[in-house]
């Protein structure tokens, strides 16, 4: 799961850099940037919730043995 989170962060960082380069002269770049930040925050929080759920399940299984 850590690899997935790392790959996700790298993809979003690359997307931010690429969009910053491509849309630097566009007057609406602020809206694009905010949409990308919102998308990253949403995906990152969903992955964090999944990691927490997996850790709780693993802890329960270890304690049951």
pTM of this structure: 0.67
Q: How many CA atoms, within 13 angstroms, populate the side-chain half-sphere of residue 30?
A: 1
Res. 60 pLDDT band, cuts 50 70 90? low
Q: Are 54 and 26 in contact (CB under 8 A)?
A: no
Alpha helix ranges (H) inside the chain: 2-22, 29-64
Q: Per the structure, how many domains does the chain have? A: 1
**Cα–Cα distance for residue pair 57/54, rounded to 1 Å:** 5
Q: Is the pLDDT of residue 65 over 60?
A: no
User: Residue 29: what pLDDT?
Assistant: 87
Closest CA to 36 of 18, 8, 15: 15
Q: Which one has a higher pLDDT value, 60 or 16? A: 16
User: Residue 54: what pLDDT?
Assistant: 76
Domain of residue 23, residue span: 2-64
User: Residue 5: what pLDDT?
Assistant: 83
């Amino acid at each position: 799961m850590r690899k997935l989170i790392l790959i996700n962060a790298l993809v979003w960082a690359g997307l931010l850099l690429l969009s910053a380069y491509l849309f630097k002269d566009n007057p609406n770049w602020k809206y694009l940037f905010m949409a990308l930040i919102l998308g990253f925050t949403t995906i990152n929080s969903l992955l964090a919730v999944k990691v927490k759920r997996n850790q709780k399940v693993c802890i329960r299984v270890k304690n049951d043995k």
